[in-house]
A and B are shown apart, each in its own frame.
Chain A
Amino acid sequence: MDIATDSRPDYNQLILADRINGRIYYDPAVFRDELEKIWHREWVYVAHESEVPEAGDYVTRQIGLQPVIVSRDDAGKVHLLLNRCTHRGNTICQSERGNSHAFRCAYHGWTFNSRGDLVGVPYAAGYGSTFRKDEFPLAKVPRTGSYRGLIFGSLSPDGPSLEDRLGPAKALLDQFVDLSPEGELVVRSGVLKHSYRGNWKMALENSVDGYHPNILHHAAMVMMTRGKADMEAIFGERSDARARDLGNGAAQLDLNPIQVRSGGRVVPPGWSKAAHEEYRASMERRHGAEGADRIIAQGGPHFCIFPNLILILNQFRVIQPVSADETVIYYYPTMLKGAPDEINQRRLSETYLVHGPAGRVAPDDFEAYERNQVGFQARVNEWLLLRRGLHREEREAGGAVAGHETDETTQRAIWHYYRALMTRQ
């Protein structure tokens, strides 16, 4: 069935139980609806606390298409401010990062402190004696929340709390952060930026797609494992890893069974005995012997938090939509506070060797996204199948729905939540 693109999108018709319509990926009307119903309403990941560690530090980000300043004031509090001068709407901070206790708009000099208060304006007599500076602070993002150092913002004043919204994903965030002997991440190792000519949702789906690694990335994986790994047991039908729906659009590729068997995967194989012993000792001090064994054996989780945050192995990926057919992904290597330098160095090098512009894996994903966006221009049959594993998924004891690692349980998790958001009033 062909759905005319001059009609209002009906998401109940476009997203079915076992298929979705390609219009979801290219229609500018859908993109506009997504801004209203998702990006400018939901909890969106913005930055990590360690990116603004000192008083006066700031970084500039976006929530959807709305430019935001993340600043730390001189009392140590973090603020999410709209990067829009209250005079005539210029963006005030242009740099991606900086340190300044005050921000001065380049256009007319209006000056704000790092809490967003208006400090003053040039030629103030032109505003008369009734002008009150406290009526023109920078707008604040209505709700700010932080969990284990991850800062989220919501442009809606109402809705579930951040912790309610994160739900079961909180436990996986804990798993990621608790790899640090001090229980903290440090995200100060730069960023890799990839832009692609394709829709933002492709990157979210891809991040928890266990079907493609042994196909699209087969050559890279054989190379990285020097031909010694049994790929069918890791990313094939014989794998005992699971694809899990965590609720609220969060989804996980649970590779724990494989990671535990291989002795853990905190860093790629080959790290020195000295680093291993130092790391293990510091983890034992914090978690006890049994806790250290469990955490090290599990390694890092692999999951996504709707709509824009992906946590895999040693990195954050943050999705930034630009338009219906343009997206930027930011890859942030994450360091473990208190871990030996060798471990953190390996986390950094794996990020750029595997996911950098000449990396072994990421460029193939971006090629796939762009081919997808071109493929969607074929309008005779616009359906995308979403039925893999429907016949064999099951509800686990804890309540989550899970399927085989290669099944589309994870993508159905994303799409069903997406439909719920896009059809609510």
Chain B
Amino acid sequence: MRLISEFAVVEIERDDSGNGPRLLIRDARSGQYIYLDPLELAALAWARHEDLMPLMDPSRFDRHSRNGV
């Protein structure tokens, strides 16, 4: 599924290629992606939006991309 706002386009799908289910989240604009396991997702369910602000700081993207994209 795709979620689109004027600031981001994200694709989300369930992945079963590992030893357990994960959620694949991919930033369609950059190609960057991450697989989140259920415990990580549970942590997100407990998070506040302000907890995510450091992740949204664009100075984080000054390094080479993690996925080599």
A interface vs B, CB < 8 Å?
55-56, 74, 93-95, 98-104, 109-111, 113, 119-125
Residues of A within 8 A of B58 (CB): 104, 109-111, 120-122
Whether a CB of chain A sits under 8 angstroms from the CB of B69 is no
Report A297 CB to chain B, min CB distance, Å.
46
Q: How far is the CA of A122 from the CA of B58 in the complex (A)?
A: 5
**Among A109, A119, A122, which residue has the most Cβ atoms of chain B within 10 A?**
A119
Q: In the complex the two chains form, what is the Cα distance from A98 to B3 in whole Å? A: 12
**Is the Cβ of A98 less than 8 Å from the Cβ of B57?**
no
Check A119 against B56 for contact (C-beta < 8 Å). Answer: yes
Contact of A102 among B7, B48, B60, B61 (CB under 8 A): B7
Is the CB–CB distance between A113 and B7 below 8 Å? no
Q: Mark B1-40, 1 if CB is under 8 A from A, else 0.
A: 0000111000000000000000000000000000000000
* Sample of 11 more A-B contacts, CB < 8 Å, known A93-B6, A94-B6, A119-B57: A95-B5, A100-B5, A101-B52, A104-B58, A111-B56, A111-B57, A113-B50, A121-B59, A122-B61, A124-B59, A125-B62
Shortest B62–chain A CB gap in Å is 6
B42 located at the interface, meaning its Cβ lies under 8 Å from any Cβ of chain A in the complex: no
Interface of chain B: mostly helix, strand, loop or mixed: helix
Taking CB atoms, residues of chain A closer than 8 Å to B59 are 120-124
**Which of B5, B48, B52, B57 is within 8 Å of A99, CB to CB?**
B5
Contacting pair A103 B7 (CB below 8 A): yes
Across chains A and B, which 9 residue pairs bring their CB atoms closest together, nearest first?
A120-B57, A124-B59, A74-B49, A122-B58, A101-B49, A109-B58, A95-B6, A120-B59, A104-B7
State which of B5, B50, B60 has its C-beta within 8 Å of the C-beta of A74: B50
In the bound complex, do residue B53 and residue A122 qualify as a contact, i.e. CB atoms below 8 Å apart?
no
By beta carbon, the residue of chain A nearest B57 is A120
Q: Is B7 touching A123 in the complex (CB atoms < 8 A)?
A: no
Q: Are A123 and B56 in contact (CB under 8 A)?
A: no
Bound-state Cα–Cα, A120 to B7, Å: 15
- The listed residue (A55, A98, A113, A123) touching B53 by CB distance below 8 A is A113
Q: Provide 6 A-B residue pairs closer than 8 Å at the C-beta atoms, listed in order of the A residue.
A: A74-B49, A94-B6, A98-B6, A102-B53, A109-B58, A122-B61
Chain B residues with a Cβ under 8 A of chain A: 5-7, 48-50, 52-53, 56-62
CA A121 to CA B53, docked complex, whole Å? 12
Hey, which chain A residues are within 8 Å of B56, CB to CB?
102, 104, 111, 119-120
Taking the closest CB of chain B, its distance from the CB of A13, in whole angstroms, is 48
A174 to chain B, nearest CB (A): 35
Contact, CB under 8 Å: A124 / B7: no
Whole-angstrom CA separation of A226 from B60 in the bound complex: 68
How far does the Cβ of A116 sit from chain B's closest Cβ, in whole Å?
A: 13
Query: Which residue of chain B lies nearest to A115 when distances are taken between CB atoms in the complex?
Result: B50
Contacting A98 at CB < 8 Å: which of B5, B52, B61?
B5
Q: Which residues of B contact A100 (CB under 8 A)?
A: 5-7
Q: How far is the CB of B53 from chain A (nearest CB, A)?
A: 5
Find out whether the CB atom of B6 lies under 8 angstroms from the CB atom of A74. Answer: no
On chain A, the residues within 8 Å of B53 by CB distance are: 102, 113, 119
Separation of A101 and B5 alpha carbons in the complex (Å): 11
CB contacts (< 8 Å) of A98 on chain B: these are 5-6
- Assembled-state Cα–Cα distance A111/B48 (Å): 18
Q: Which residues of B contact A101 (CB under 8 A)?
A: 49, 52
Closest to B4 in A: A98
Closest Cβ neighbor of B62 among chain A residues: A123
Which residues of chain B are near A109, meaning CB under 8 Å? 58
Shortest CB–CB separation between residue A120 and chain B, in angstroms? 3
How far does the Cβ of B11 sit from chain A's closest Cβ, in whole Å? 17
Give chain B residues whose Cβ lies under 8 Å from the Cβ of A99: 5
- In angstroms, how far is the closest chain B Cβ from the Cβ of A110? 8
CA distance A104 to B30 in the complex (A): 15
Q: How far is the CA of A174 from the CA of B7 in the complex (A)?
A: 38
- List, in ascending order, chain A residues with CB within 8 A of B5's CB: 95, 98-100
CA distance A125 to B6 in the complex (A): 27
Report the bound CA distance from A71 to B49 in whole Å.
14
State in angstroms the CA–CA spacing of A122 and B30 once bound together. Answer: 15
